[in-house]
Amino acid sequence: MKLKRTASKRVTRGQGLVEFALVMPIFFMLVAGIIDLGWMVYNYSQLYNGLREALRYGSVSGYSAIPQYQQCDGIRTKLMTMAIHSGIRADQITIVYDDGRPVDESETHKIAFCATNATNITFYNNYIPIGAVSAQPRTQIFTGDRIVIYANVNIRFLTPVFGALFPNGLPIQIDASRTIYPGGLGL
């Protein structure tokens, strides 16, 4: 009798070990998925908040000699500071100024842009004002113009499970715009 009882306990222990071995990889994948999903949501939130902060900074004059809306490095720095964990770099941020018209194929609505390594804005030579038939480049930003910021960044996964599946990370592209108010510090 004792011999039978001992043998049945061994079978039960072995069965539990096999079940554990079958369920554990699925459990680890689930935990890794939850961790990486939380990481992606966190980074997206930080990127979006940084984008909003950069737009706020870049839509007013401020108190310095050069208006804030013309300080390309300052605008990029606001975004990169708020989204530091995403690993966003200055070359992944595009800043464009337009007159608020819907985007067209010729992009003649764009007034100026911030070059990647430039400190201040550069004006387009092919800007065509509303109602004009030919290009009339501008040399300044007016009230009612818009600042548009685009950010493209690849967010790397935290866990090696999804990091191996997506070695370059997950590409996130966000953009937003805000009307410029050069007259003062209108927040």
State pTM to two decimals: 0.81
Q: Of 150 and 105, which is predicted with more confidence?
A: 150
* Measured distance CA(78)–CA(56) in Å, rounded: 10
User: Is residue 89 included in any domain, yes or no?
Assistant: yes
Tell me the mean pLDDT in the region 96-116: 84
Question: Do residues 20 and 141 touch, judged by C-beta distance below 8 A?
Answer: no
User: Is residue 130 included in any domain, yes or no?
Assistant: yes
Q: State pLDDT tens for residues 85-99.
A: 999 999 999 999 998
- b vs e for 139-165, b when ≥16 Cβ sit within 10 Å of the residue's Cβ? eebeeebbbbbebebebbbebebbeee
Which of 161, 165, 153 lies closest to 51 in space, CA to CA?
153
Q: State pLDDT tens for residues 10-30.
A: 556 678 888 888 999 999 999
Is pLDDT at 168 greater than 60 in this prediction?
yes
* Measured distance CA(181)–CA(146) in Å, rounded: 9
User: Is residue 90 included in any domain, yes or no?
Assistant: yes
Domain that holds residue 174: 2-179
Question: Do residues 95 and 58 touch, judged by C-beta distance below 8 A?
Answer: yes
Percent of the chain with pLDDT over 70: 90
User: Is residue 187 included in any domain, yes or no?
Assistant: no
Within the chain, where are the H helices? 2-57, 72-82, 160-165
Nearest 10 degrees: Cα torsion 97, 151, 92, 89: 110
Domains in the chain, number = 1
User: Is residue 107 included in any domain, yes or no?
Assistant: yes
User: Is residue 6 included in any domain, yes or no?
Assistant: yes
How many residues does the structure list for the chain?
187
